[in-house]
């Protein structure tokens, strides 16, 4: 199914979504990376935006911007980063900030999945690596915490118009699109290993204390 959703999202907007559904978004969106989560959730820094009543779609990304002569900002590229990297903060982010949708690459881990189910939230991911395709669908409204967090980690605020398409990869019933295809992936991976002479016991490099989760393989 394909859905065009208006932000802020309601519970009924996300509970109807199933893995594999395609969504386009319109309304206010904010960006978030690990520094914001660490500062707010671990160190008590106050949020500068209303995530429960307005900005309840979180975009895990770092924007590429240039400074304009008038002091404004020119957005030049934007692409989601991997949500699994921030798994240690995901459950608290969803619960405390009232997030209803997370946009990022990869997906959430075990703890994040439980939070999606408990607090009615979904995770969506891009269909392709297309960092410049969305520039015309996002209006840059402003930026917060740029002095404290820097350009990449700051809270950038956008108004989206038909922003997408994105695929629901984790719904609020605990289903994962990546898990659905995992057995086929593993079967093909085994054939590739045999062809390339790679040991089946080869382990992927893990960064940032990723959970021992198959989804952490695909970052």
Instruction: Tell me which of 211 and 7 has the higher pLDDT.
Output: 7
User: How far apart are the C-alpha atoms of 178 and 79, rounded to whole Å?
Assistant: 20
DSSP 8-state secondary structure symbol assigned to residue 54? T
Instruction: Tell me what pLDDT residue 28 has.
Output: 98
Most confident of 32-36, 183-187, 203-207: 32-36
Kindly state the percentage of the chain with pLDDT values over 70: 92
Domain that holds residue 74: 2-217
Total of domains in the chain: 1
User: How far apart are the C-alpha atoms of 182 and 167, rounded to whole Å?
Assistant: 17
| 103 contacts 80 by C-beta, under 8 angstroms | yes
pTM: 0.85
Q: How confident is the model at residue 206 (pLDDT cuts 50, 70, 90)?
A: low
Q: What is the CATH number of the domain that holds 41?
A: 3.20.130.10
**Average pLDDT, integer, range 85-100:** 97
pLDDT digits (tens, 9 = 90+) for 35-62: 999 999 999 999 999 999 999 999 999 8
Cis peptide before 119 (omega within 30 of 0): no
């Amino acid at each position: 199914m394909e859905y065009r959703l208006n932000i802020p999202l309601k519970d009924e907007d996300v509970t109807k979504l199933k893995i594999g559904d395609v969504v386009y978004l319109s309304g206010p969106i904010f960006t978030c990376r690990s520094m914001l989560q660490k500062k707010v959730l671990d160190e008590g820094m106050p949020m500068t935006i209303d995530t429960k009543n307005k900005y309840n779609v979180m975009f895990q990304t770092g924007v590429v911007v240039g400074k304009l002569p008038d002091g404004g900002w020119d957005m030049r590229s934007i692409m989601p980063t991997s949500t699994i990297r921030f798994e240690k903060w995901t459950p608290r982010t969803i619960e405390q900030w009232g997030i209803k949708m997370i946009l990022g690459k990869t997906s959430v881990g075990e703890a994040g999945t439980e939070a999606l189910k408990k607090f009615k939230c979904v995770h969506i991911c891009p269909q392709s690596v297309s960092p410049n395709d969305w520039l015309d669908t996002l209006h840059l409204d402003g930026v917060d915490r740029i002095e404290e967090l820097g350009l990449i980690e700051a809270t950038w605020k956008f108004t989206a118009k038909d922003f997408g398409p994105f695929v629901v990869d984790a719904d609020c019933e605990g289903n994962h699109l990546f898990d659905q295809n995992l057995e086929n992936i593993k079967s093909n991976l085994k054939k590739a290993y045999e062809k390339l002479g790679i040991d089946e016991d080869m382990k992927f490099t893990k960064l940032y204390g990723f959970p021992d989760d198959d989804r952490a393989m695909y970052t």
